[in-house]
Chains A and B, each alone.
Chain A
Amino acid sequence: MSWETVIGLEVHVELATKSKIFCSCTTEFGGAPNTHVCPVCSGLPGVLPTLNENVVEFAIKTGLATNCEITRFNKFDRKNYFYPDLPKAYQVSQLYLPICRNGHVDIEVNGNKKSIGIHEIHMEEDAGKLVHDPWEDSTLVDYNRCGVPLLEIVSEPDFRSAEEVIAYLEKLRETLIYLGVSDCKMQEGSMRADVNLSVRPTGAAEFGTRTEMKNINSFKAIGRAIAYEAKRQIEQIEMGKRVIQETRRWDENKDATYAMRSKENAQDYRYFPEPDLLPIEISEEWIERAKSEMPEPAWAKRERYVSEMGLSEYDAKVLTTERSLALLFEDTTALCGEPKEVCNLIIGELMRLITESQTAADKIYVDPGKMAEIIKLTVEGKINRNAEKEVFEALFKEDIDPVSYIEEKGLMMLEDDGLVESTVEEVIKNNPKSIEDYKGGKQKAFGFLVGQTMRALKGKANPQTVNKILKEKLDSL
């Protein structure tokens, strides 16, 4: 029998707000334990939460970018459970009226286009971090992450393969980074995916029993976890056993999933409307303003780079991996009108410099005006390719002024044909053997003489000028 895998995803992303969702503590990652904590996010009695406006703003933008309907009248609800990662013993979330519904994200796998439904997106708060203390066999609790705003993006069970899941996550990640809504770093936990998976005979209409996999923190691990879990479920069924609906944990080291022992036997969240927070009304104007502020998505940039600027699909893809690179590309191109040159300098030089200096691509600063100047000088033949790289590196590292730097370092090409002429004469005089070879028909000798001339001029002459003058001189001998 052939089997079909059915997958739905719950993706949690931490929002890139400066402060937490209900208090003014910083959302910065890390920090010494419990130093980003106040009475509100540590759940002390008597405190009241106040909603961070940017959380709603980011949720609206995410909804618009994933083609969702925006819920005009929103409320928060309490999800109750006892676990020490939540000091209040409830998580503020949205059950009844999630902020976004009925959207879709379009993906492409091996040339096949597919639309993945978004069931809903809701706002909630993140929980604290629990660390096992082996010395005293206890658990240590750090509430720095507690109250960091989250969006939970719930897809429809529309995936049929790990490739589709990864394509969707990559698209989602790119979209959210471009919106500036989240940095989506899986290794820092600012993007986390729970995978709901079931199997059924190919073509069956009913869904099989699903399991939920947690703790998968890289795209690579997601692919492996899906392959493992699908195989495990098929084996269970083929052995005549049932798949049990349960939460399983992915163990990266063992390359396997295992059932989580749940201490909470009764899964009953007893949701009810959060009385401490007022409802949110989202006006048409708010949505329109959010729309007008949304940047062009990466996929649209890629299409434009190829069709309007004549870049290859590969180049367009590399340039749009980081929004900062795409913006630098666009700003610089607007100033010098040389898209291919700008692209080459970014992909060839800038990306190398970023790697070497170990800076994050979204933290770099290169002045587009100065970069355009360097490219113009190169295209006009005022400096050669090596000088271009050198000046650009100085621009990256020290934000130098290109023209003064070139003058200071003497990188400008010679425009004095007289000097080229006298140098050529000198070279001819000093290399009688090569002249003979050239006259005897050896083209190699010509190249040698060009090289000698360039060397004498320290590479600063225009090679075409040298070629031309040398040829004239030799032919007149």
Chain B
Amino acid sequence: MILDIKLIEYLEELSRLKLSDEEKEKVKKDLSGILSYVDSLNELDTTDVEPMSHPFDFTNNFRKDEVKPSFDRELILKNAPKKKDGCFQVPKTVE
């Protein structure tokens, strides 16, 4: 499967990446290779096979509705590149 450059640019936008023209070509080649590889799965007939979302045969792994102490705020904010007033500070997104 060969990807066109438009799709690469769409993925670029979705994944918030900025690629140079050179990089785009490289990604196009790599992704096409990956998709061609995965495409070989289509050779199998899966007509009556249930799609599998989990490799385990378990269901209903629940937690009781109990409150436990949260983390210390300083610890939660420790990795934040910027913080202010006990909040994570990020570039303006609110309209």
Q: Which residues of A contact B (CB under 8 A)?
A: 17-19, 24-26, 32-39, 42, 44, 50-54, 56, 75, 82-84, 130-133, 136-143, 249, 260-261, 263, 265-266, 268, 270, 273, 275, 277-281
CB <8 Å contact, A275 and B53: yes
CB <8 Å contact, B73 and A35: yes
B42-95 contacts to A (CB < 8 Å): 53-54, 56, 58-68, 70-71, 73, 76-77, 79, 82, 84-95
**Proximity bits, B19-55, A CB within 8 Å = 1, else 0:** 0000000000000000000000000000000000110
With both chains docked as a complex, state the minimum distance between the C-beta of B8 and any C-beta of chain A, in angstroms: 13
B14's partner among A35, A44, A270 (CB-CB below 8 A) is A270
CB <8 Å contact, A50 and B16: no
Per the bound structure, the CA–CA distance linking A142 and B65 in Å amounts to 23
CB <8 Å contact, A263 and B92: no
Residues of A contacting B84 in the complex (Cβ-Cβ under 8 angstroms): 133, 136, 138, 140
Residues of B contacting A268 in the complex (Cβ-Cβ under 8 angstroms): 14
A-B contact pairs, 7 of them (CB 8 A): A52-B64, A132-B94, A136-B89, A139-B89, A140-B87, A143-B88, A277-B61
Q: Which residues of B contact A (CB under 8 A)?
A: 10, 13-14, 16, 53-54, 56, 58-68, 70-71, 73, 76-77, 79, 82, 84-95
Residues of B contacting A44 in the complex (Cβ-Cβ under 8 angstroms): 79
With both chains docked as a complex, state the minimum distance between the C-beta of B77 and any C-beta of chain A, in angstroms: 7
CB <8 Å contact, B65 and A266: no
Per the bound structure, the CA–CA distance linking A440 and B44 in Å amounts to 115
Residues of A contacting B54 in the complex (Cβ-Cβ under 8 angstroms): 273, 275, 278-279
CB <8 Å contact, A84 and B88: yes
Residues of B contacting A263 in the complex (Cβ-Cβ under 8 angstroms): 93
Residues of A contacting B77 in the complex (Cβ-Cβ under 8 angstroms): 34
A26's partner among B10, B70, B76, B92 (CB-CB below 8 A) is B70
With both chains docked as a complex, state the minimum distance between the C-beta of B70 and any C-beta of chain A, in angstroms: 5
SS of A interface (majority): loop
Contact A51 to B86, CB < 8 A, known contacts A25-B67, A32-B73: no
CB <8 Å contact, B94 and A130: yes
Residues of A contacting B10 in the complex (Cβ-Cβ under 8 angstroms): 266
With both chains docked as a complex, state the minimum distance between the C-beta of A66 and any C-beta of chain B, in angstroms: 22
Q: Which residue of B lies closest to A268 (CB)?
A: B14
Residues of B contacting A25 in the complex (Cβ-Cβ under 8 angstroms): 67-68, 70
Residues of A contacting B63 in the complex (Cβ-Cβ under 8 angstroms): 19, 24, 50-53
A34's partner among B58, B62, B76, B90 (CB-CB below 8 A) is B76
Q: Which residue of A lies closest to B82 (CB)?
A: A138
Question: Lowest 10 CB-CB distances: which A-B pairs, in order?
Answer: A273-B53, A24-B68, A140-B87, A53-B62, A54-B65, A141-B88, A33-B86, A50-B63, A132-B94, A281-B59
CB <8 Å contact, B60 and A139: no
CB <8 Å contact, A37 and B73: yes
CB <8 Å contact, A83 and B65: no
CB <8 Å contact, A280 and B87: no
CB <8 Å contact, B14 and A50: no
Q: Which residue of A lies closest to B64 (CB)?
A: A53
CB <8 Å contact, B59 and A279: yes
Residues of A contacting B13 in the complex (Cβ-Cβ under 8 angstroms): 265-266
With both chains docked as a complex, state the minimum distance between the C-beta of A52 and any C-beta of chain B, in angstroms: 5
Residues of B contacting A139 in the complex (Cβ-Cβ under 8 angstroms): 89-94
CB <8 Å contact, A17 and B91: no
With both chains docked as a complex, state the minimum distance between the C-beta of A271 and any C-beta of chain B, in angstroms: 12
B56's partner among A24, A39, A270, A278 (CB-CB below 8 A) is A278
CB <8 Å contact, B60 and A281: yes
With both chains docked as a complex, state the minimum distance between the C-beta of A39 and any C-beta of chain B, in angstroms: 7
Residues of A contacting B93 in the complex (Cβ-Cβ under 8 angstroms): 83-84, 130, 139, 263
Per the bound structure, the CA–CA distance linking A143 and B71 in Å amounts to 12
Residues of B contacting A136 in the complex (Cβ-Cβ under 8 angstroms): 84, 89
Residues of B contacting A265 in the complex (Cβ-Cβ under 8 angstroms): 13
Per the bound structure, the CA–CA distance linking A50 and B61 in Å amounts to 7
Residues of B contacting A39 in the complex (Cβ-Cβ under 8 angstroms): 71
